[in-house]
Amino acid sequence: MLLTRSLSIIIPAYNEEVRLPDTLLKITNYLAQGNWLFTEIVVVDDGSRDRTAEVAESYARDGCPVRVLRNPGNRGKGYSVRHGMLEAKGEWLLLTDADLSTPIEELDKLWRALENEPAEIAIGSRAIDRSLIGVHQPAFREKAGQLFNWTMRRLLRLNIRDTQCGFKLFRADAAREVFTRQKLDRFGFDAEVLFIARKLGGSILEIPVRWNNVEGSKVSLLSGATSFLDLLRVRLNDLRGIYHTDEP
Ligand SMILES: Nc1nc2c(ncn2[C@@H]2O[C@H](COP(=O)(O)OP(=O)(O)O)[C@@H](O)[C@H]2O)c(=O)[nH]1
Ligand SMILES: [Mg+2]
């Protein structure tokens, strides 16, 4: 099917000089199929201590449609994604992790789902069809992820099976609505933006996607643990009326 719309791919990147080149090559090859009228890859450098920004800029000089945004320091994945989402120009906005754990081709599934259903957001899910997981995370990370999801469902009453897969597609207007209200800067932001989207009456499609763990995770044990506190923050913010649904 010939696509005629514009696409922004947002990549939050913290110390990703090693994993980014392969990712940018794969995305550029995918985009070369020419299905989109306008495309941009927005790399958000999150105060990396390595040459992440320079690596991304060298691809831009070589003709790859890359735009590099720099955070004022290491502010977190949530901050980075919000920064990229609010600066992106496309009508469709894809969030992907820098390691392409979900292959970029899976975007076709998300895009088709949103074209065919009156929904605003399509999120990749590892929980619906586990046979699509090639390389698993270490067992303790998988267990921690399941516990996070269990806690999320109880605290936020959000009926979603995997909020943490780093592969999500938004219609631009929905992205603006949720990311202007987002408060969390670290790893709990995924659950927060989906919570806000539902609160605003948005519809979220969960799409089973292929997924492979890639070496070089940037998530520490401590930051994983504090994500649980983030869930509590979302609940408290909501009780305090912080996610008001009229004006952001
Ligand atoms: N850990 C971490 N990742 C960040 C940060 N800011 C942006 N990121 C990006 O968020 C994504 C997290 O992916 P990854 O480390 O592969 O997580 P994992 O696969 O869940 O272990 C990557 O694209 C990171 O570069 C940050 O402050 N810390
Ligand atoms: Mg990863």
User: How far is C-alpha 138 from the geometric centre of its chain's CA atoms?
Assistant: 21
Pocket test for ligand 1, best of 22, 189, 215, 218 (most atoms within 8 A of CB): 218
For the whole prediction, is pTM greater than 0.85? yes
Strand order in the sheet with 121-125: 66-70, 38-45, 6-13, 92-96, 167-171, 121-125, 204-208
Please provide the CATH number assigned to the domain covering 6-239: 3.90.550.10
Which atom of ligand 1 lies nearest, measured to the CA of 74? Answer: 27
Ligand 1 atom at minimal distance to the Cα of residue 213: 19
**SS3 track for the chain:** CCCCCEEEEEEEECCCCCCHHHHHHHHHHHHCCCCCCEEEEEEEECCCCCCHHHHHHHHHHCCCCEEEEECCCCCCHHHHHHHHHHHCCCCEEEEECCCCCCCHHHHHHHHHHHHHCCCCEEEEECCCCHHHECCCCCHHHHHHHHHHHHHHHHHHCCCCCCCCCCEEEEEHHHHHHHHCCCCCCCCCHHHHHHHHHHHCCCCEEEEECCECCCCCCCCCHHHHHHHHHHHHHHHHHHHCCCCCCCCC
The residues with which 8 forms a beta bridge, in sequence order, are: 40, 93
Nearest Cα residue to 229 out of 188, 168, 175, 181: 188
pLDDT of amino acid 2: 44
> What is the position in ligand 1's atom list of the atom closest to the CA of 75?
27
Q: What angle do CA 224, 147, 209 make, to 5 degrees?
A: 85
Please say whether the beta carbons of 143 and 64 come within 8 A: no
Going residue by residue through the chain (248 aa), what tens digit of pLDDT does each one get? 445 689 999 999 999 999 999 999 999 999 998 788 899 999 999 999 999 999 999 999 988 899 999 999 999 999 999 999 999 999 999 999 999 999 999 999 999 999 899 899 999 999 999 999 999 999 999 999 999 999 999 999 999 999 999 999 999 999 999 999 999 999 999 999 999 999 999 999 999 999 999 988 878 888 888 999 999 999 999 999 999 777 65
Confirm or reject: Cβ of 14 under 6 Å from ligand 1: yes
CA of 21 to the centre of ligand 1 (A): 16
Are the C-beta atoms of residues 84 and 69 closer than 8 Å to each other?
yes
Task: Indicate the domain borders of the chain.
Answer: 6-239
Give Cα separations from 77 to 13, 39, 220, 227 (angstroms): 8, 22, 13, 12
Q: How far is the centre of ligand 1, averaged over its atoms, from the C-alpha of 95 (Å)? A: 12
Between CA 91 and CA 142 the distance in angstroms is 34
**Going by CA atoms, what residue is nearest to atom 26 of ligand 1?**
76
pLDDT at 21: 96
- The reported pLDDT for the residue numbered 3 is 56
Using the atom order of ligand 1, give the atom closest to the CA of residue 98: 23
